[in-house]
Amino acid sequence: MGYQLKYTYHGKSYTIKQLSKISGLSRSAIYQRIQRGLSVEEAVESPKRTVRIGLPKDVADEAYDFIVRYKIENDGIPPTYRMLSSKFDMSTSQVRVMVGILVKRGLVTIGEGGASRSIQVVGGKWVPPKKVSHAA
Q: Does the pLDDT of residue 53 top 80, yes or no?
A: no
In sequence order, the 6+-apart residues with CB closer than 8 A to the CB of 79 are 66, 67, 70, 71, 87, 117, 119
Q: How many helices (H) and strands (E) does the chain have?
A: 6, 6
User: Both 101 and 68 in a single domain?
Assistant: yes
In total, how many domains does the chain have? 2
User: Both 14 and 43 in a single domain?
Assistant: yes
* CATH code, 95: 1.10.10.10
User: Both 30 and 86 in a single domain?
Assistant: no
Consecutive H or E run containing 63: helix 57-73
The answer to whether position 2 is within a domain reads: no
Residue-number span of the structural domain to which 115 is assigned: 55-121
SS3 127: coil
Q: Pairing state of beta strands 108-110 and 50-51?
A: unpaired
* pLDDT one-digit tens code per residue, 59-111: 888 899 999 999 989 888 899 999 998 888 888 888 888 888 888 889 999 88
pTM here is 0.54
User: Both 69 and 102 in a single domain?
Assistant: yes
